[in-house]
Amino acid sequence: MANTILVGAQWGDEGKGKIIDVLTETADIVVRTQGGNNAGHTVFLGAQKYVLHLVPSGILRPGKRCVIGNGVVVDPVSLVEEIEGLRKLGVKVDGNLFISESAHLVFPYHRALDEQRELRKGRNKIGTTKRGIGPAYGDKAARAGLRMIDLVQPDRFATLLRQRIQENNELLRAWGAPPLSYARVQAAYRAAGDALQGFVSNTVVMLNEAIRRGENLLFEGAQGTFLDIDHGTYPFVTLSNTTAGGACTGSGVPPNRIDRVVGVMKAYTTRVGEGPLPTENAEVADMLHALGREFGATTGRPRRCGWFDAVATRHATMVNGIDKLAVTNIDGLDSVETIKVCVAYRAGGRQYEYVPTDAPTLAACRPVYAEFPGWRCATGQARSWAALPTKTRQYLKAIAELSGARLGLASVGPSREQTIFR
């Protein structure tokens, strides 16, 4: 096997949770390396639905170890809730979940600031998940963050938290928002620290030792390429590096220990939150929402939807070095008569074959479409490449080729069995 980075090749919500669950079968350790509980990875095991926010999806496979790496921002109170929820469902977490001692913490003042910044932006808001992710990464970059290693040392933590609450309360007051009670936050975080103590360790050393022993690592990307702080549609992005490079910095595993990159993409495009989405299309959105599809796993918001954007996925292949593609939600297009695929953009008399850096330019881009005949039958029962309708195979081959990578996996439904290896 190999050390594999899995990334979202679009705007997040590509169905990574399920693909990670499938690939975990051949991995020893599954590692989250960026983002926080803004992520929502949905996995179905039989009739049971699991939505994971911080814990890697690998936790659902007995015998696998899971790591929350140094690049993740952790809301410890919500992590404890997630762990307890998993325990209640009979999922083993003790002894197989490890949290980096250098992962930064998310606090209630981060959530309050996230909300205030969005309010103040008005029409220009980002549409964040309001989980405090941006302000938490902001504090990390400003060297004003607290980390897991602080949380599990109660005296040190109490002193540092008091300072941070004082400073952030000044900011909240200035913005007309209610200040936070130190005592209340301290009590909640103290309890979470006690509950998490046994999970916290030096995961950088742990992961590199595992690699030396020949174990296989799977890096579980959260969000997607175009939400990357550097490579996304800035400022309509999240605050972490969601692209493949983020897996290395977010885990302490060097790039020359990575063997392959898998890119996950939907057979169409979706996005939650604001920002440009060149192929956005109301009819596609209505069709998918009427099927009960495309509502956010974290916030329940209806996702914006559109046709497959091959300019974007080609760009994603380039910045991530995607070797293999996993295409999900193919069954979402089962009823469509003519499927469109964006092959280039046009704006200001210019044709673009790549994603322009400037968000207003991207917002002005109009898609140039190629058309494919729909297969117009249910694909959810297909269990092999040969069992897929010819038109489905042609469509999948075309979008893989346009995206510049090999098709490795096709998913025709939420369950593990509805996965076709090519």
129 is a site residue for ligand IMP (CB under 6 A): yes
Tell me if residue 231 is catalytic. Answer: no
Instruction: Provide the residue count of the chain.
Output: 422
13 is a site residue for ligand IMP (CB under 6 A): yes
Residues 361/275, Cβ–Cβ less than 8 Å: no
Instruction: Fill in the DSSP letter of residue 92.
Output: -
To ligand IMP, the closest distance from the beta carbon of 130 in angstroms equals 7
* Helical pair 76-88 and 182-196, crossing angle rounded to 10 deg: 50
Q: Which residue is nearest to ligand IMP (CB)?
A: 273
- Pick the binder of ligand IMP from 18, 131, 164, 324 (CB under 6 A): 131
Burial 99-134 (b: 16+ CB within 10 A, else e): bbbbbbbbbbbbbbbbbbbbeeeeeeebbbbbbbbb
Residue 127 tokens, joined:
């549409």
Closest CA to 98 of 246, 207, 14: 207
To ligand IMP, the closest distance from the beta carbon of 227 in angstroms equals 5
Tell me if residue 53 is catalytic. Answer: no
* Residue showing tokens 């990670």: 20
227 is a site residue for ligand IMP (CB under 6 A): yes
Q: Residues 318-357: x/- map of binding to ligand IMP (CB under 6 A)?
A: ----------------------------------------
Spatial separation of the C-alpha atoms in residues 246 and 231, rounded to whole Å: 11
359 is a site residue for ligand IMP (CB under 6 A): no
- Pick the binder of ligand IMP from 33, 37, 38, 313 (CB under 6 A): 38
Q: What is the DSSP string of 344-411?
A: EEEETTEEESS--SSHHHHHH-EEEEEEEE---S--TT--STTTS-HHHHHHHHHHHHHHTSEEEEEE
136 is a site residue for ligand IMP (CB under 6 A): no
Indicate the residue among 73 and 322 with the shorter CB distance to ligand IMP.
73
Indicate the residue among 238 and 313 with the shorter CB distance to ligand IMP.
238
Q: Which residues contact 318 (CB under 8 A, 6 or more apart)?
A: 354, 404
- Pick the binder of ligand IMP from 3, 24, 37, 128 (CB under 6 A): 128
- Pick the binder of ligand IMP from 7, 39, 60, 410 (CB under 6 A): 39
Candidates 42-50, 233-241, 277-285, 304-312; binding stretch for ligand IMP (CB under 6 A) = 233-241
Return residues touching ligand IMP (CB under 6 A).
12-13, 38-40, 126-129, 131, 133-134, 222-223, 227, 236, 238-239, 272-273
Q: Which residues are catalytic?
A: 13, 41
